Amino acid sequence: MAQDMHDERAMSRKAMKAELLDAETELALAYAWRDHRDEAALHRLITAYMRLAISMAFKFRRYGAPMNDLIQEAGLGLMKAADKFDPDRGVRFSTYAVWWIKASVQDYVMRNWSMVRTGSTSSQKSLFFNLRRVQARLEREAMADGVELDSHQMREMIAQEVGVPLRDVEMMSGRLSGSDFSLNTTQSAEDEGREWIDTIEDDGLRGDEQVEQAHDRAALRRWLTKAMARLNDRERLIVRERKLRDEPRTLESLGRELNLSKERVRQLEAAAFAKMRKTLEANGSEVHSLLA
């Protein structure tokens, strides 16, 4: 922790000592990077505005993320801004960079807030960073007016204030109300150590289903082998290349290999399937799906 604070202060001091760019110099550096990929110009532009990135990173420290990580993400946002900045639009780079820096830091905070993805849409992001502030203000205003609001009324007012659907407010309220818990946490003392993971339904096959599935596959394999044995070499080649490969070959490629026309290969394929079908029909209708 002490080392992180030391690094943080050192980075801030270094940024504060960087040059201040006037509009003309900033524009020249932006053109040099955009038109000539001048890395020296890019480095000078980034260094000059790193103080802006650090300042914005500090605004998000209340979310509990390490300050060095926030500064790093802010720096990445600054570099994205420099790469996408169009000096012909007539705006200052600092004005343009603010959006990219903020977006980069916000994405990092949301990714690391919970193991469960907190949200990705613009409305969810707006709620994540504004819900508590808006709720606190609405509660103060209601208290000043002597009005009592239940949770549903409060969420409706928040949705209207932020301009998002009510369901998004309900979802985000739930996610921000607590932190992640391990599935190995016991439910309660009365459950004799039963863990939450024990309540999750296993979506895998049961033991009897696994045995039945293995039996069916073995039977189908035997029937298919028997059916293939009734074919001649050319027919087996066509069936194998057309139906048993991960990437089936075309009629044209098989025709070139066998010195046959595409139509003749198609006829041989149909005849081979007819032979196999007669053999398979004697063993069970369920194998028909193999030739579908």
Fold of domain 2-113: Four Helix Bundle (Hemerythrin (Met), subunit A) (1.20.120)
**Architecture of the domain delimited by 208-291:** Orthogonal Bundle (1.10)
Please identify which residue in the block is written with the tokens 């639009």: 89
Q: Which residue has the higher pLDDT, 5 or 103?
A: 103
This prediction has a pTM of 0.45
Count the helix, strand and coil residues of the chain and give each as a percent rounded to the nearest 5. 75, 0, 25
pLDDT of residue 277: 84
pLDDT of residue 121: 64
- Chain mean position to CA 59: 26
Reduced to 3 states (helix: H, G, I; strand: E, B; else coil), residue 92 is coil
Integer Cα distance of 108 and 65 in angstroms? 9
pLDDT of residue 115: 41
pLDDT of residue 144: 83
